[in-house]
Each structure stands twice: as C-alpha cells, then as structure tokens.
Amino acid sequence: MDYDILIIGGGMVGASLAHALKEVPLRIGLVEAVPLAGGPPGLDTRAIALAQGSKRILGAMGVWDAVEALGVSPIRQIHISDKGHFGTTRLSASEEGVEALGYVAEAGVIGRGLMESFDSLHHAELICPATFRELEFADDHARVEVEEEGRRRTLTCKLVVAADGGRSEIRERVGAGLLKLGYGQTAIIAHVVTDRSHGGTAYERFTDSGPMALLPNTAPEGTEGSEQGDRRWSLVWTVRDEQVDEVLQWDDATFLQRLQVRFGRRAGTFRGVGPRCAYPLGLQFVRDPVRRRLAFIGNAAHIVHPVAGQGFNLGLRDAAVLAEVLADAVHRGSDPGTLKNLRGYARWRRPDYLRVMAMTDGLARTFSNDFLPAVVARNLGLIAMEMLPPARHLLARQAMGLTGRLPRLARGLPVY
C-alpha cells in the first residue's frame, strides 16, 4: 500500500486536511495538478472571510501564526443593512468577548501559510505537478492513476479524499448525485479604496440585485496595494446575470460612481478600484459525501452563496471533522476507509451543511425579494436583531462558526 490517505487536490482545503492529520500515524499523499513554481495551487488575491472558529482550527493545526504573519485583517464589527429601507443591525467582537469576529485573508496568503510549513509534515508527500486520471475501488483499497510529466503512475491507498473543487472530476467519475440550484446572480469581485480607514468593520448590504459585501483588507507590507493602508477593502458585488456584461464594461470612474450610489457613504467615498472579475453563483452539494474508500470535502462536497462568507469555513470544518474521524479509527485499530467509519463523518457534517445552506440560501432569496410584505418582515427582523442581544448573539455565533458539534481542532484540542 503506497498511502493510507490520498488527497486529490492541494488547494486550501486539501492542504488543510494534510495538516490536520499531522499527529496521526497515517501515510498521506497530496496530489496537485498546478506546479508550485507558478504559485501555490488555486490561490489568488480573492478575499477569504475566516470565521473565528476557522482561526482556532488553523491555530490548532500550527498554521495560524504563518498565515497571520503573511497578513490578515481582523473583523471587529459587522454592519448589516437593507438598501432603501430602515432595518440595520450590528455585530461586535467586544460584545461577544473575542478579539475579532473573524479575519480577512487573501487566498494566496492562506495557501502560502499552508504550503510553507508542508515540509514539516514528515508523514506526508506532495505529488506535484500530477493530474488525476483514473480511479478504481477494491474491497480493501483504492487504486488511483495519476499522470506526472507525461508518464502514468498507479497509487494505492486505503482512502481517497476528493478535494478537487466545485468541478470535481472525481465526483463526475464516480457518478455522485449532485443537487444544484441557481440564483441568476453573479458576484463581481474587486479591491476598492476609500478616503477613510475601514476600522476593522465589515459591511453586508442587501440590494434588489443581491447582497454586497465590503471587507476590510489591508494589504501586507511590501505587496501590491500596501500603500493604501487601512483604506483598502475587498468588494463582492452581486448583480443579476443579465447585468454582468454591462458592469464589467464600465470604466473605473463609472464603476465607482455606481458603487457609491448602491452602497452609500457608510464606508466613506470610494476613490479607487482594481481589476474586476466575475463568478457565477449557485448552491450545490453532493447528496452523499462518502462511499466505500471515498470521501468528499470542500467545494467538491458543497458550494454555497457567498452571503455571510461561509464557503471556505465550511470546507475547513470538513477537514477538521474528517481528520478527527480518521484519528479515532486509527486509535481503535480500524481501517479508516471503511464505509462504517466514513458514515460517521457524513452524519457529523450533515447538520452543519443544512444549517449553512438554509442560512445562505434564505438570505440570498429573502433579501432579493421586492414583495412588500417580505420587505417589511425582513426589516423588522433586522430591527429586532439590533434590539435583542440574545438574537444578535446567536447570529454572531453562527457567523463565527461556533455553533453545533465542534471538532477538537475548533476547540483548540489535538486531533490525536
């Protein structure tokens, strides 16, 4: 047997699983197609909202210090509003007794933090660049064929973990059932600059075309955008699909003017904007995240609407829970790839999936609805949230990823 665990996909979630298993006596292979010489795999300047619970997981894995040193921006307040209406609410780190509700880090920062410490994982091997080609399952093992530098190589393992993203080739190859829902929305992503400091405040603003998020994102010193200091933000502007081409064709001045009208002046006056890119939005999740010798994690298992910034946090909790389930199997002397063991992972993760999907889907649909009773109800809800600390506390705990059954890593405990 070449490996105990073979992870296909070396992006943030796949690499996190390798780190989460660092104390467990398992041989791990991490297969990634993108050469590291071209930059860590799947990593860019997209802003990732890291929940407080995710910070705790990364800390327990021994990765947080490296990520923090590369540059993160704390979120100390979240301001939620509905454009053109009276409802608002605010979440505060001080009210929750934490230093920050979460943190904003660029995907490249998280990825570098994970990859720079990969060599310390003496039980793990990075197989890169290598492309997944074939997959077969037997009773007691799986066989995975990968291609390296034009040559094919067969690897054997007890468990394959599919961490190969939203367009998972493994998911397609095994015919895993997938539930997909569309929103008719696309996210426009950009960095913007205002005339005043962000002060650690993140904004979530609901509009008739979809939610807008403005996240504090001070660039690390010496990197592009660092001269903008704490006036730099990451913008996620949701528009209807039919509006995308028009928005992407706007010049900088037009974009900033339209953004100011849509967002208002809570964050100040918008002074600059970087290149824009677009991501179609939807909801999808694999109907069964496990089968014999196979488990899905991260975007290969689920994709949610970016409202509330839960996507990567959900995937990181996948990695933390799967690591704990596998560690417990090893402790019992059990084969980690059996369906019985993997069912434990699926049962544990299902309530979290359903909770996050219900929240993000409900917010996306409710706050894009112009039906008057819905408008009144949601604004009354925001006002009630502002006036009722217990309701606000519950929302904050959900946003911080601290609800439900938490894995050991999220509680600062070793996984093995």
Reported as a single tens digit per residue, the pLDDT across 25-66 is 999 999 999 987 545 444 477 899 999 999 999 999 999 999
Give tens-digit pLDDT for 316-347: 999 999 999 999 999 999 999 999 999 999 99
Between CA 103 and CA 73 the distance in angstroms is 5
Provide the pLDDT for residue 208.
Answer: 81
**pLDDT average, residue stretch 151-177:** 97
pLDDT at position 175 over 60 = yes
Provide the pLDDT for residue 368.
Answer: 58
Give tens-digit pLDDT for 235-287: 999 999 999 999 999 999 999 999 999 999 999 999 999 999 999 999 999 99
Measured CA to CA in angstroms, residue 117 lies from 71, 147, 321 at distances of 16, 25, 21
Token readout for 363 is 């917010």
- By mean pLDDT, which of 70-84, 124-138, 250-264 is the weakest? 70-84
Provide the pLDDT for residue 390.
Answer: 76
Provide CB contacts within 8 A for 264, sequence distance 6+: 83, 205
Measured CA to CA in angstroms, residue 67 lies from 26, 101, 107, 115 at distances of 25, 17, 10, 10
Task: Say what percent of the chain tops pLDDT 90.
Answer: 75
Provide the pLDDT for residue 329.
Answer: 98
Measured CA to CA in angstroms, residue 412 lies from 58, 349, 393 at distances of 9, 19, 22
Provide the pLDDT for residue 43.
Answer: 47
Report the topology of domain 3-180+282-410: FAD/NAD(P)-binding domain (3.50.50)
Provide the pLDDT for residue 227.
Answer: 82
Contact 290/346 with Cβ under 8 angstroms?
yes
Provide the pLDDT for residue 398.
Answer: 85
Provide the pLDDT for residue 369.
Answer: 56
pLDDT at position 391 over 90 = no
Three-state secondary structure call for residue 23: coil
Task: Say what percent of the chain tops pLDDT 70.
Answer: 91
pTM: 0.92
Instruction: Compute φ and ψ for 238, nearest 5 degrees.
Output: -85, 125
Report the topology of domain 184-278: D-Amino Acid Oxidase; Chain A, domain 2 (3.30.9)
**pLDDT average, residue stretch 213-220:** 90
- By mean pLDDT, which of 95-99, 166-170, 231-235, 303-307 is the weakest? 303-307
Residue entry with tokens 């540059």: 71
**pLDDT average, residue stretch 359-379:** 63
Give tens-digit pLDDT for 346-360: 999 999 999 998 878
Q: How confident is the model at residue 307 (pLDDT cuts 50, 70, 90)?
A: confident
Helix (H) or strand (E) holding 40: none
Query: What count of Cα atoms within 13 Å lies in the side-chain half-sphere of residue 165?
Result: 13
Mean pLDDT of the chain: 90
Between CA 46 and CA 3 the distance in angstroms is 33
- Is there a shared CATH topology between the 3-180+282-410 domain and the 184-278 domain? no
Give tens-digit pLDDT for 85-110: 566 788 999 999 999 999 999 999 99
Sign of CA dihedral 160, 55, 282, 232: negative
Q: How confident is the model at residue 75 (pLDDT cuts 50, 70, 90)?
A: very high
Residue entry with tokens 């007794």: 97
Between CA 225 and CA 228 the distance in angstroms is 6
Domain boundaries, the chain: 3-180+282-410, 184-278
